[in-house]
Amino acid sequence: MNLITPDGGLLFWMVLIFGIVLFILAKWGFPVITSAVDSRSARIEESLRQAEQARAQLEGLAKEQEEMIARTHAEQARILKEAAHSRDEIIRAAREEASVQTYEMLEHARERIEREKQDAIREVRREMALLSVQVAEKVLRDRLGHEDEQLSLARRYADELSVSDKAGAPADASESSAKVQS
């Protein structure tokens, strides 16, 4: 027995056993292995396809996110612009209202001052009239201190009135007051 060169019988049995093993593997082993490899290959392809879809979706989501951020910034700018416009409008309205209220308050103050001025003038006139009457009364009492003088003055006024009634013209009050003072 030579180790390097095998015998013909050994070679025959080795080929026969190899053929049987090959037949068994070809009949039952290789289909199982190829189906496992094919299913594994299909799963890998499906995973790759899903990964590609996920990547595409992520890119779409990234674009959508950028668009949403841009829309959000635009909306924020619009809201800020509207808020600034509203603020300016409120300030303008408040200024107008304050101006109107100030004008009304000034007008009321002017009216009140005018009323108080008229009241003060009336009060001064009333006081002047009272003082004039009091002064005239004192002057008349001084001049007509006696009862005889008062009676003669009353007769003289009665005569003047009767003469003026007959003439049809009323007696002049300034002449009467001038006569009283003299």
19 within a domain of the structure (yes/no): no
Cα–Cα dist 12/6, whole Å: 10
Q: What is the mean pLDDT of the chain?
A: 85
Give residue 182's pLDDT band: very low, low, confident or very high (50, 70, 90): very low
Q: Is the pLDDT of residue 39 over 70?
A: yes
Tell me if 12 is assigned to some domain: no
Which of 11-15, 51-55, 164-168 is the most confident on average?
A: 51-55
Does residue 111 lie in a domain region? yes
* Inside any domain, residue 145: yes
Lowest mean pLDDT across 35-49, 73-87, 111-125, 132-146: 132-146
Distance CA 182, CA 153 (A): 11
Residue 129 lies in a domain: yes
Task: Please count the structural domains in the chain.
Answer: 1
Element (H or E) spanning 116, and its range? helix 30-143
Residue 66 lies in a domain: yes
Enter the DSSP assignment of 144.
T
- Alpha-carbon distance of 161 to 156, in angstroms, equals 9
Domain assignment present for residue 181? The answer is no
Is residue 3 in some structural domain?
no
Contact 153, 144 (CB under 8 A): yes
Q: Is the dihedral of CA 149, 151, 155, 160 positive or negative?
A: positive
Q: How confident is the model at residue 55 (pLDDT cuts 50, 70, 90)?
A: very high
Domain boundaries, position 109: 29-165
Pick the more confident residue, 3 or 108.
108
Question: What was the pLDDT predicted at 16?
Answer: 95
Q: pTM of the prediction?
A: 0.38
